[in-house]
A = this chain, B = another copy of it.
Amino acid sequence: MSAVRPQAGVPTRLLLGSGPSIVPERVLEALAQPTIGHMDPAFAAIMGETIDLLREAFQTDNRATLPISGTGSAGMEALVANFVDPGDRVVCGVHGLFGERMADELARAGADVVRVEAQWGRAIDQERLIAAAADGLDAMVVVHGETSTGVAQPLDGLADACREQDALLLIDCVTSIGGHPLRIDEAGVDAAFAGTQKCLNCPPGLAPFTAGERALAKLERREQPGRSWYFDLSLVLGYWTPDENGGGGRSYHHTAPINMVYALREALRIAVGDEWLPSAWERHRRAHHALRDALGVLGCVRLAPDGEQLHPLLAVSPPEGVDEAAVRNALLLDHGIEISGGLGPLAGRLWRIGVMGAGARREPQQQLVGALCELLGAEPAEALAALDEGWRA
């Protein structure tokens, strides 16, 4: 009954790494719908539904909500290109690879970057971010879901600290969107970017993006065009949301990645249409803890301490004495299951396991635990029982 037939050279994998995640067949089928034109009224209707679903995923009413035409990292570049001007003082939280990247991106944009760091694997104490803001700032950027360490950064208090200084709060929620509690408007976030290939279970290629009125006002105050034409929201919005941006009809900017938008719409229909978002968050929480408990039986220890864990990404140390890369490769090549290794200073010391959307379910976790037990020479019964127990909790 499957409409999607594997072609030579593309193996079937169970994607339980840091992303891309498991893509449901409905999404693959949507991706393969016939291409139509980017100015076709039928495509306009698809864009409109996609925007509505994205607003739900971000929990925002922002008119400027749309997918940027590039992967998650393109969302980072769009965020900085639109809302950070040369010379801006920007407080940047750095507690993993993606915070490091953000700091690099900010420096390239000519910002005066004030780094507030925490050890990789820990959240940043908000009081330290707030204290850095007290010295004056134009923007604060934090990584809400640090994919390199599996840490969720609390946002409490940050928006107030920014508003007191008329600064913007900007966040990376690539891995948290759809899987870890986050309400953009309630948190006072001024702009955010996300990824499609994590909890939304869509192939990579688009970056969900949202910006509120304070951020857009800063963009409008610019006296000369920003450094990027491709990511210039003042142009992109004329294509994506003409009615909410002065009307006058949709104007061509660049050719949208038509088929990727079909796929994102379908993925969002599943992620925030078929399931109530708070239920999805709760499912990710349970899935995270169940898998953590099961892997704990095998001797894996989670990097993030209790209370700082990012539900969609479980980062654990491999059991003592195990060649982590050898096990990871055997998982992929012998069992068809992908998990990810550590990055940067954590290379060789971490397994990063996605608990994302369709992967945040008992069955794929059972497959992973079973295969890991086989490779580690462990009896699976106890670990599987811990998994079941976790799901019942």
**What residues of chain A have their CB less than 8 Å away from a CB belonging to chain B?**
3-7, 9-13, 15, 17, 19-20, 23, 28-38, 40-42, 45-46, 69-74, 76-77, 101, 104-105, 107-109, 195, 197, 203-205, 225-231, 252-260, 262-263, 332-333, 338, 343
**Chain copies in the assembly?**
2
Residues of chain B within 8 A (CB-CB) of A20 are: 35-38, 255, 258
Q: Is the CB of A19 within 8 A of B255?
A: yes
The answer on a CB contact under 8 Å between A32 and B28 is yes
CB-based contact B13/A34 at 8 Å:
yes
A205 contacts B257, C-beta separation under 8 Å: yes
A258 to B202, CA, bound (A): 11
- The CA of A20 and the CA of B260, in the complex, are separated in Å by 13
CB of A37 within 8 A of CB of B15, answer yes
Shortest distance in angstroms between A149's beta carbon and chain B's nearest beta carbon? Answer: 15
The one of B13, B35, B73, B109 in contact with A37, judged by C-beta atoms closer than 8 angstroms, is B13
- A30 partner residues in chain B, CB cutoff 8 A: 7
Let me know if A7 and B33 touch, CB within 8 A. yes
Most buried by B among A29, A42, A76, A227: A227
Q: Kindly identify which residue among B4, B230, B253 contacts A32, using a CB–CB cutoff of 8 Å.
A: B4
- Beta-carbon contact of A11 and B36 below 8 Å: yes
Shortest Cβ distance from residue A330 to the other chain B in the assembled complex, whole angstroms = 13
Q: In the complex, are the beta carbons of B12 and A34 less than 8 A apart?
A: yes
A108 touches B37 (CB 8 A): no
- Say yes or no: B204 contacts A255, CB within 8 Å: yes
Q: Which residues of B contact A76 (CB under 8 A)?
A: 229-230
Q: Is the CB of B4 within 8 A of A23?
A: no
Q: Which residues of B contact A36 (CB under 8 A)?
A: 10-11, 13, 15, 20, 338
Residues of the B chain whose Cβ atoms lie less than 8 Å from the Cβ of A46: 9-10
Determine the distance from Cα of A256 to Cα of B197 in the docked complex, in whole angstroms: 11
Residues of B close to A229: CB separation below 8 A:
73, 76-77, 101, 104-105, 108
Q: Which residue of the partner chain, among B29, B74, B254, contacts A72 with CB atoms under 8 Å? A: B254
* Cβ contact within 8 Å between A35 and B108: no
B29 near A34 with CB under 8 A, answer no
List the B side residues contacting A17 at CB < 8 Å.
37
Cα–Cα, bound, A77→B230 (Å)? 7
Residues of chain B with a CB closer than 8 A to A7's CB: 29-30, 33, 262
Which chain B residues lie closer than 8 Å to A6 at the CB level? Answer: 33-34
Residues in B neighbouring A105, C-beta threshold 8 A: 229
In the complex, chain B residues whose CB is within 8 Å of the CB of A69? 70-71, 74, 205
**A254 contact set on B, CB distance < 8 A:** 71-74
CA distance A31 to B28 in the complex (A): 8
Query: How far apart are the CA atoms of A381 and B240 in the complex, in Å?
Result: 42
Nearest B residue (CB) for A266: B7
* Chain B min CB distance to A193 (Å): 12
Task: List 9 A-B pairs, Cβ < 8 Å.
Answer: A6-B33, A10-B36, A10-B46, A28-B33, A74-B74, A108-B225, A109-B227, A195-B255, A204-B258
User: Are A227 and B230 in contact, with the CB atoms below 8 A?
Assistant: no
Q: Is there contact, CB below 8 Å, between B19 and A4?
A: no
Contact B71–A257 (Cβ < 8 Å)? yes
Report the 8 A-B pairs with minimum CB-CB distance, sorted nearest first. Answer: A205-B257, A32-B32, A73-B254, A77-B230, A10-B33, A203-B259, A70-B70, A28-B32
Q: If the complex has contacts A32-B32, A38-B204, A46-B9, are A230 and B343 also in contact, measured as CB distance less than 8 A? A: no
